[in-house]
Amino acid sequence: MSRKQQLLKRHRRNKRLGVLASLVLLVALGLFAWWWLPLVLLPVLWAAHEAWFADHLFYTPGEDYAYRFGEHTHEAPVTLREGVLKADVPLQGDETLVLEVRVKSNWLGRLLDPRVELQGAGLADRQTFERGVAGVRYLNLTGLAAPLQAGSLRVRGRHCRLQGEPRLWVTPSVELQRRRVMVIAPHADDAELAAYGLYSQAEETWVVTLTAGEIEAEHYQQMGLGKAEAARLKGRLRAWDSIAVPRWAGVPEARCVQLGYFCLQLPAMQAAPGQPAASREADMADIRPFRQFNPFPLPGDQDGAPTWQNLLADLRALLELARPEVLVMPHPQLDPHPDHICAQAAVLEALQGLAWQPQTLLCYANHLHDNDRWPMGDSGDGVALPPQLQADQAWAPCSLVLSLATQRDKAMALGMMHDLQPSAPFKRRLRRLLQRWLAGRRPSPYGENEFFRKAVRRHELFWRREL
């Protein structure tokens, strides 16, 4: 069982205990006080839970985030006086800038999402944190170098305040746009969620999707299809998405590849490298039907077996063909999805012994262990650093700024992804409505799926290592 699954199991157990205790209290009030009181309180308590306590937050908001940024990042002198932030160091303007600061919510910040608003030189941003936040957090100031250096960057806490002396961390920029970039996507839409802004601006981009993402096809079962047939249809659609959607960003079809392995089966493949791992739901053990849109053959096409050995052979062939200078893939510690963890491991294993080696590794996190809502806040906001409570390894942050036009193009790319199109369940829609009325949360203007809010942002955030 993964760490996230353990945390979710503990969260659900505690939630059930809380519900049971509340029911016992209400029954006691009904029996010994006012019989009608439980009938009034039950819907009120349920609405309060949905508005304020339904987030999956597996740590306390009072805990400090912890980061080590490594040798590529250095600390620069900075002062915060009367709400104005000034960096006492020359800046080029394209650095990744991170401000370490202690954030403390006020009483209203326990009901409404606390955020820090940044404004200066005609630029504005805001970054949101957990309700009840009371600890060290990391603001992303990338793109605000001009007002920061000029001493005109105003910093204002809404439903919170900044405490103590801030620390500014500066990571020099690395050239990305004029280099060959390969984005490794465990599933169709991972490349767009994490790196649409990056790959749409790169001089040469390859998008390599590892799995067909065929499982959890209930939406297609509602059309009258059986479970296996629905899964196969969903896999075909997502395979098409992985080839077609990058064309929206100008990536040629000849550089978009779908490997067609089965969703959530990469861990089983890794555990037994020569043993095929068939689809959980599609009644398939051959990956070739999901590869029909590929522009050229790959080693795994010979037998179509869903094995780790075939995956490594496919990746080695692609790495030797594309010769990427920048590799973009899931973060091995921050992103807990089992397919994401295995995707990163497979690429690193495939690189062993190859004559061509990339120079830069960029990692992203589309999922987190501890906070399903990160990045918090609204579409278009900046992306603060995610929660991390132990700094086990040093990584240099690398953040890109996306123009409003690029954000809109990214939203349209996500809208083309079939997996993000079905309507949310009724309970989730009702919860969002209550959160909008009671907690002040705004829906994304781009779409109903939660990834439109989380991914269409002012920043794309990566973690960098030189190889």
- In this structure, the answer to whether residues 222 and 353 fall within a common structural domain is yes
Which of 109, 136, 171 represents a domain boundary (last residue)? 171
- In this structure, the answer to whether residues 305 and 366 fall within a common structural domain is yes
What is the structure's pLDDT at 144? 98
195 located within any domain: yes
User: What sign has the CA pseudo-torsion 91, 93, 97, 103?
Assistant: positive
Domain extent at residue 36:
3-52
Which of 122, 146, 171 represents a domain boundary (last residue)? 171
The answer to whether 140 and 461 have CB atoms below 8 angstroms apart is: yes
Place of tokens 């780790």: 308
What is the structure's pLDDT at 416? 98
40 located within any domain: yes
Q: 0.85 cut: is pTM over it?
A: yes
- Rounded to whole angstroms, how far apart are CA atoms 172 and 33? 66
- In this structure, the answer to whether residues 246 and 389 fall within a common structural domain is yes
Residue-wise pLDDT tens digits, 169-179: 999 999 998 99
- Rounded to whole angstroms, how far apart are CA atoms 136 and 351? 37
The answer to whether 228 and 175 have CB atoms below 8 angstroms apart is: no
Three-state SS for 319?
A: helix
Nearest to 166 by CA among 69, 117, 98: 98
At 15, give phi and psi (nearest 5°): -65, -45
- In this structure, the answer to whether residues 110 and 186 fall within a common structural domain is no
- Rounded to whole angstroms, how far apart are CA atoms 341 and 337? 6
Q: Which two tokens stand for residue 424?
A: 């949310």
- Rounded to whole angstroms, how far apart are CA atoms 275 and 184? 23
The answer to whether 432 and 441 have CB atoms below 8 angstroms apart is: yes
57 located within any domain: no
- In this structure, the answer to whether residues 274 and 411 fall within a common structural domain is yes
Kindly write down the DSSP assignment for every residue of 402-430, as one continuous string.
Answer: PPHHHHHHHHHHHHH-GGG-SPPPHHHHH
What is the structure's pLDDT at 27? 65
Q: Report the DSSP beta bridge partners of residue 90.
A: none
The CATH number linked to 280 is: 3.40.50.10320
Three-state SS for 360?
A: strand
Q: Report the DSSP beta bridge partners of residue 97.
A: 170
32: exposed, middle or buried (C-beta count within 10 Å: 0-12, 13-18, 19+)?
Answer: exposed
E strands in 212-351:
256-261, 326-330
Tens digit of pLDDT at every position of the chain (467 positions): 555 566 656 656 766 666 666 666 656 656 566 666 666 777 887 888 889 988 988 899 999 999 999 899 999 999 999 999 999 999 999 999 999 999 999 999 999 999 999 999 999 999 999 999 999 999 999 999 999 999 999 999 999 999 999 999 999 999 998 999 999 999 999 999 999 999 999 999 999 999 999 999 999 999 999 999 999 999 999 999 999 999 999 999 999 999 999 999 999 999 999 999 999 999 999 999 999 999 999 999 999 999 999 999 999 999 999 999 999 999 999 999 999 999 999 999 999 999 999 999 999 999 998 899 999 999 999 999 999 999 989 999 999 999 999 999 999 999 999 999 999 999 999 999 999 999 999 999 999 999 999 999 999 999 998 77
61 located within any domain: no
Total domain count for the chain?
A: 3
264 located within any domain: yes
- In this structure, the answer to whether residues 335 and 405 fall within a common structural domain is yes
User: What sign has the CA pseudo-torsion 433, 434, 437, 442?
Assistant: negative
68 located within any domain: no
59 located within any domain: no
- In this structure, the answer to whether residues 167 and 192 fall within a common structural domain is no
- In this structure, the answer to whether residues 361 and 321 fall within a common structural domain is yes
- In this structure, the answer to whether residues 157 and 84 fall within a common structural domain is yes
Place of tokens 């051959």: 286
- In this structure, the answer to whether residues 200 and 260 fall within a common structural domain is yes
Which of 171, 192, 227 represents a domain boundary (last residue)? 171
Nearest to 91 by CA among 139, 144, 149, 142: 149
- In this structure, the answer to whether residues 286 and 191 fall within a common structural domain is yes
133: exposed, middle or buried (C-beta count within 10 Å: 0-12, 13-18, 19+)?
Answer: buried
- Rounded to whole angstroms, how far apart are CA atoms 447 and 411? 8
409 located within any domain: yes
- In this structure, the answer to whether residues 310 and 432 fall within a common structural domain is yes
What is the structure's pLDDT at 86? 96
Q: Nearest 5 degrees, angle CA 373-CA 376-CA 382? A: 140
Omega cis (within 30) before 445: no
H helix intervals, 177-282: 190-201, 218-221, 227-244, 266-271
